[in-house]
Structure formats: structure tokens, C-alpha cells
Structure 1
């Protein structure tokens, strides 16, 4: 299993130990978090933990070095050098005017 896969699989470890994190936050920020949590039907704690966890995974995955064997590297370079032709959905999207020009 790759490091990326192991990071993503850490959803619910079998023997989970819980701890606490205390934060001081301005009132406006707290209200913003509460409003966003309410929109998703989550508690403040659920929202903050899920958001922080998602961000932490993204940061760690962005810093990872992915190594490839010679055959994998050649396939990767070939895919970059010879991308597939755009399909009909992409062609349709590219023909539309961008939202900021409408």
C-alpha cells in the first residue's frame, strides 16, 4: 500500500485514542464555522475535524515524493507526451464562453 493510500485509509483506526485540541478563535470566525457546519448538518466539532483532516491530508500528499520504476516512468512520460484527444464533453465545454464573460 502506498503512503497516499495509507493516509486516506486512516478514517477510523480500530483502537482510536481520543484527545482534545483547544482553539481560541474570533467571534466572526466561530460564527462562520457554525454556519457552515449547520448547512452540512454537522456539529462544530464534526465540521472542524473533517475540514482539518482533509486539509492535513492534502498538505501531506502535496509533499510526497512518488517514485516510479523504469517502466512506470516511461508510461508516465508517454502519457504526458501523447495525451488523449479531447472527448465531446471537453470540446463542448471549451466552446462555451467563460462565466466571467457572460
Structure 2
């Protein structure tokens, strides 16, 4: 059984009686408490909205440029190379 975390933060909502009845009916149909139903629904929607920030779409030309940049050899970084071969102050 997964560990349950304490829910200490609170969120208040103002809604119409009709909206509350709809949420209560949906929660009952899902065999969940109203709070659990609303929280799970809101978190699912939040995941959906936030995932749109992590996925980007490219047309064919943009995709080719993106892949070319990934496939290109790295640029020389002399300072980084020197950093990796010099002894550390902790050595």
C-alpha cells in the first residue's frame, strides 16, 4: 500500500450549486470523495497543460536543423579541456 502524505495546504472554491451537484455526482460515480475527485481531476488537467510546455513541434525544415545541431560534433572548449586535466585544489 503506497504511503500517504499529509495534505496540509488548502484550496477554497466558489461555485454554483449546479456545479457542486455535478462534481458530487461524478465523485460518487467514481467511488471517490468529492475532495479526492476534484484534486485528481485538477492534477490531471495541470499535467496536461504543463506537458504542452515540454513538447514542441517542428516543421520539416526546423526538424532537419535540430537534428543537424544534435549530430554535429561538439565545438572545441579549451578551457573545459584544461579544467579536466588540471589537478583539483582538493587533490
TM-score (norm 1): 0.49
- Give distance in 2, aligned partners of 1:26 and 1:50: 20
Is 1:51 aligned with 2:46? no
Higher relative contact order (CA 8 A, sep 6+): 1
Q: SS at 1:21's partner residue?
A: coil
- Stretches of structure 1 that go unaligned for 5 or more consecutive residues are 1-11, 72-102
Q: CA deviation at 1:70?
A: 3.0
Q: Measure how far apart 1:62 and its partner are.
A: 1.0
Identify unmatched segments of 5+ residues in structure 2: 57-65, 72-91
Aligned residues: 60
User: Residue 14 and residue 48 in structure 1: after superposition, are their counterparts in 2 closer, same or farther (change >3 A)?
Assistant: closer
TM-score by length of 2: 0.54
